Amino acid sequence: MARLFSLQRIGPKKLFQPKRTREAVENWSDDLSIEALGMFGKVTATWAQKNKPHFVVRYIKNGVTISASGAAGKIFSYVDEGTRAHLIRARKKPLLRFRVGGSPKTRPRVITSTAGKSGKVWVGALEVHHPGTEPREFSVIIAERIGKKADKVMRRELKQTVLVAEGRVE
């Protein structure tokens, strides 16, 4: 019997190229991590050196995490996440002494840092009812900004991978 026709695949053999895609993801992860570190640096630019946190980048299975480390990292988390109202008592000295009337170095949901001002009037007290601090939400804002960029970059890279697989671009 004679063969009447044969079927042959004429489309691209491999649309998804895992190696190229993985390399692209690693490259843009590095770029976006550097950009995020720059934003964290902006937020803490005017902080005293002893209170300035060291940010650590960790690559995990599904992305990248950036965290503040050490005692200064704990201070950063208080500023970033805010604190609730609490009582402060003098423990080592007979009175708490502090200045009132200053202005903060940072503002909520703003990625910048200013000089701020110390208060001019000194006050002493046995205890203080601290009202807490409003969360600055730096981490949230930076994650939102980087997330938007990551989405755009990932779409562009996947589109490029498909174009290369189809032979339309080298």
Q: How far is CA 51 from CA 4, 114, 121, in A?
A: 81, 15, 23
Q: Is residue 136 very low, low, confident or very high in pLDDT (cuts 50, 70, 90)?
A: very high
Instruction: Quote the CA–CA distance of 149 and 84 in Å, as a whole number.
Output: 33
Arithmetic mean of pLDDT over the chain: 87
Query: Residue 12: pLDDT band by 50, 70, 90 thresholds?
Result: low
Domains of the chain: which residue ranges? 18-85+133-166
Higher pLDDT, 5 or 143: 143
Q: How confident is the model at residue 164 (pLDDT cuts 50, 70, 90)?
A: confident
pTM over 0.85: no
Closest CA to 67 of 133, 138, 125, 4: 138
At 62, the pLDDT band (50, 70, 90 cuts) reads: confident
Q: Contact, 38 vs 55, CB < 8 A?
A: no
Q: Looking at the predicted structure, is the pLDDT value of residue 116 above 70?
A: yes
